[in-house]
Amino acid sequence: MNINMNPNSELHQYVVNVPNVVQVPDVLVSQAEEFKAAIMMYTCAIREVKTKLEVLNDELSVRNQRNPIEMIKSRVKKPMSIVEKLRRRGLPVSLESMMDHLDDVAGIRVICSFVDDIYAIADMLVSQDDITVIATKDYIKNPKPNGYRSYHLIIEIPVFFSHEKRDMRVEVQIRTIAMDFWASLDHQLKYKKEREGDSDEISEDLRLCAEIIAGTDQKMLEIRKSIEAKGGTVKK
C-alpha cells in the first residue's frame, strides 16, 4: 500500500529518490492509515526543527558574517528499517511500539564548517524553551572504535496539528563536512564488506583516515581563529 503525499512535501521529495520508502510493511497493513498519519507527523517534526536551524543560521550569518551551517539533510526512516529495528530489539512490530521505542524515525543531519560550530549550534538549539533533550552522545570527544565522529542529539519538539499537539522525537546529527564525507564512505563500504566478506584492512584504513580528518578539522579551526584574531573574517 502506498502513502500518497503532497508532491511538494519533504517526505515526497525523499520518496522520489527512494520509492520504497512509501510502502507500508505487510505486518503493519492493519494499521495502514494510522501509519500514514504517523509518518506525516514525523515529517512535520523534521520541518519544525529544520526551520529552527535555518533561523539560527540566518541570524549568525548577519552577526558573524559567515554561515556556520553548510547544509541540512533530513530523512524519515524507511518502513522496513523500522520493522527490522523493532525485531532486532525484540519489540512488538506495531505503530505504538515504533512511536514509544524508536527515537530515530525522524532524522536530521546538520553539516557545519568547523568543529566549534557544531557545539554552538547544538547549544543554541537545545536552549530553546520548546525543545526537550532526551539524550546526547558526543562521538567527537569520544569517537567510536572505527573512527566515527559526530554529535548526536535526541530531542522532543511539540508539533501543532488541527486537533491536537503532539510531542515528536527527532534525532539530530551534527558534524563537519569532512566527518560527513568519512561517514558516507564508511556506510557504503560497510555493506560492501558484509556482502563480500572483505578483510579488516579497509576498516583499519578508514580508522586511520578518520584520525587524519580529525586533525585537519582541528587545524582548519586554528587557522580560522588566527584570521579572526588578526581582525579578519572568514566569509562564504
Q: Which of 96, 171, 201, 204 is catalytic?
A: 171
**Residues 148, 213 contacting (CB under 8 angstroms):** no
96 is catalytic: no
Is pTM beyond 0.75 here?
A: yes
Residue 124: pLDDT band by 50, 70, 90 thresholds? very high
User: How confident is the model over 2-25, as pLDDT tens digits?
Assistant: 444 444 444 444 443 443 445 666
Instruction: Please report the beta strands in 48-141, taking only residues with DSSP state E, as ranges in sequence order.
Output: 69-76, 106-112, 132-138
Local confidence band at 1 (pLDDT 50, 70, 90 cut-offs): very low
Tens of pLDDT, residue by residue over 80-108, are 899 999 999 999 998 899 999 999 999 99
What pLDDT, on the 0 to 100 scale, is given for residue 51? 97
Least confident span in 1-5, 33-37, 168-172: 1-5
Q: Is 147 left (phi over 0), alpha (psi -120 to 50) or beta?
A: left
CB count in 10 Å sphere of residue 78: 17
d(CA 227, CA 221): 10
